Amino acid sequence: MAVVSSTLLAAAAWTVHAAAEDQQASAQPDAPVKAQPPVAPATGAQAQLIEQGRYLATAADCVACHTATGGKPYAGGVGIASPIGTIYSPNITPDKATGIGGYSFDEFDRAVRRGIAKDGSTLYPAMPYVSYAKMKPSDVKALYAYFMHDVEPVEQPSKATDIPWPLSMRWPLRFWRMAFAPNAVKEGAPPATGATLARGRYLVEGAAHCGTCHTPRGLGLQEKALTDHDRVFLSGGVVDGYVAKNLRGDRKDGLGEWTPQQIVAFLKSGRNAHAAAFGGMAEVVQRSTQNMSDADLEAIAAYLKTLSPADPDESALAADATATEKLRAGTDRSNGALTFVDNCAACHRTSGSGYESTFPTLALSSVVNSDDPTSLIHIVLKGGQMPWTKAAPTHYGMPGFATRLTDRDIADVLTFVRSSWGNRAPAVSADEVAKVRKAVRAAPQPVRPENS
């Protein structure tokens, strides 16, 4: 029973944009890549179906997990860290020997929406099949057409997992799937009313699988909710050392103060008056959402704005100029304030307002006001870059301060930021910073007389 429990917990813990399945590798991990010529272009209805599949693959950001840096598209090989080892995303090109070229449509559909591989084994739940179960069969057919007829087949064996036995056993995953995966939806009729909201819900819950990152996990590391029938849905999660923010209507740390237009702007450009994309979200914007249609982005925004606050009793933030006045007068001599002036004020300003679309605002920011400071600590330690986008081709970034600031410095400056300009968030401790520093493998803190 201990083995079953450990396997189930570890399997669901992996990075949520992970691979669908690490195929049973029968070749060495470093086998050479052999490209094959693409099939002849389709015409007519088939071409339209393929184009629909291409768009859905973009909305689902399939390339993120199945394309290694410098590798062929969808040929796999992306390493995904887990508590018990590393798995590698599989080759999902239509190569028949090493990819999915031998999959029938029914087998493809069963893998995508039910989490069952061609050989009958259960896929690792890092593959978001619990979300893809919401996708209509017609959309899965379009995905199948795209992958089988437009993606270049690449002969590249999938790498074997780096997980020791007995934790590498798959059979316990079947019970995880039975407990937490919903039934795949049927085609159904288009909604008679509210088509925009229905489309937004369909994308958020299905292909875009937003809940995979933005919904907290339960004891079995399953998403606590898969639909908006529960207020925990999209109320925030932790992924790869970042907090995937609350997408509900909370005014303090959610989207309550964001307009639909600002949500669309963020998804198209990776920035708006409230925030800038960083970490995994920057990659989602760059490779996925900026390439979605305006109509779909507007539908997503409209749907997100219908979500009630996770905490309906939370009051809104109100601007407060006290910190600005003290910084400009030089009367706040605390370590947090002095560290901010020396390292942060040039870009984020003494008012905490930053420069719109260039350096993010810190004042009244929903990211700054999250109860969990993990994202802020991570960014200060390792820095970050905004995504390259067509809507905002300028590329700004923030340097990391891991070798410049001690854990105490970072804790103090973040506590200062989270309590200034009207922000209202818990203080940050040096122990929290040390924990994140270790988790994200940031450089050791600088040695100073008081730390030696």
Instruction: With H, G, I as helix, E, B as strand and everything else as coil, classify residue 244.
Output: strand
DSSP 8-state class, residue 125 = T
Residue 241: per-residue pLDDT: 83
pLDDT of residue 358: 87
pLDDT confidence of residue 146 = 97
For the stretch 294-317, pLDDT in tens is 999 999 999 999 999 999 988 889
Rounded to 5 degrees, φ, ψ at 346 are -60, -35
pLDDT for residue 110: 97
pLDDT over 90, % of the chain: 73
Of 116, 289, 126, nearest to 217 by C-alpha is 126
Beta strands in 378-423 (DSSP E): 384-385, 397-398
What pLDDT sits at residue 82? 67
Q: Between these two residues, 353 and 125, which has the higher pLDDT value?
A: 353
Whether 210 has a binding-site annotation, put simply, is yes
pLDDT given for residue 164 in this prediction: 80
378 is known to lie in a ligand binding site: no
The confidence score (pLDDT) of residue 264 equals 98
Residue 175 has pLDDT above 70, yes or no: yes
Check whether 30 has a pLDDT greater than 80: no
Confidence check: pLDDT of 27 > 60: no
Place of tokens 């039934």: 183
Q: Which of 177-191, 236-250, 255-269 has the lowest mean pLDDT?
A: 177-191
- Is 274 marked as a binding-site residue? no
Q: How confident is the model at residue 170 (pLDDT cuts 50, 70, 90)?
A: confident
Is the pLDDT reported for residue 322 higher than 80? yes
Contact 220, 154 (CB under 8 A): no
276-297 pLDDT tens trace: 999 889 999 999 999 999 999 9
Could you tell me if 77 and 63 are in contact, meaning their C-beta atoms sit under 8 angstroms apart? no
Give the pLDDT of residue 83: 64
Give the model's pLDDT for residue 268: 97
Measured from the Cβ of residue 95, the count of other Cβ atoms closer than 10 Å reads 23
Output the CA–CA distances (angstroms, integers) from residue 283 to 254, 429, 439, in the order listed: 21, 29, 21
Find all residues with CB under 8 Å of 152, minimum gap 6, and list them.
35, 36, 37, 38, 72, 73, 93
213 is an annotated ligand-binding site residue:
yes
Rounded to an integer, the average pLDDT of 238-252 is 92
Q: Are 75 and 63 in contact (CB under 8 A)?
A: no
Residue with tokens 């991990």: 29
The answer for residues whose C-beta is within 8 angstroms of residue 63's C-beta and 6 or more apart is: 57, 73, 74, 287
Q: Is 209 flagged in the annotation as binding? A: no
Max avg pLDDT among 87-91, 191-195, 227-231: 227-231
Provide the pLDDT for residue 451: 57
Give CA–CA dist 154/209, Å, rounded: 27
Q: Assign 38 a pLDDT band (cuts: 50, 70, 90).
A: low
Q: Is 66 annotated as a binding residue?
A: yes
The confidence score (pLDDT) of residue 86 equals: 80
Query: Which pLDDT band, with edges at 50, 70 and 90, does 239 fall under?
Result: confident
CATH class (in words) of the domain with range 322-451: mainly alpha
Cα 270 to chain center, whole Å? 13
Q: Is 229 annotated as a binding residue?
A: no
Q: Is the pLDDT of residue 354 over 90?
A: yes
pTM recorded for the entire structure: 0.86
User: What confidence score (pLDDT) does residue 336 get?
Assistant: 98
**Angstrom distances, CA of residue 206 to CA of 5, 27, 104, 128:** 28, 34, 22, 9
Token representation of residue 237? 């999660």
Q: Is the pLDDT of residue 131 over 80?
A: yes
Q: Which residue has the higher pLDDT, 276 or 168?
A: 276
- Rg (Cα) of the chain, in Å, rounded? 23
pLDDT of residue 431 exceeding 80: yes
Residues 363-374: what's their mean pLDDT? 94
pLDDT tens figures, 44-100? 899 999 999 999 999 999 999 999 999 999 999 988 776 667 878 899 999 999 999
Instruction: Determine the average pLDDT of the residues in 215-244.
Output: 92
Q: How many CA atoms lie within 13 A of 386 on its CB side?
A: 25
Average pLDDT score over the chain: 88
Does residue 11 have a pLDDT over 60? no
Domain with CATH 1.10.760.10 in the chain: 322-451
Which of 3.90.70, 1.25.10, 4.10.240, 1.10.760 is the CATH number of 195-304?
1.10.760
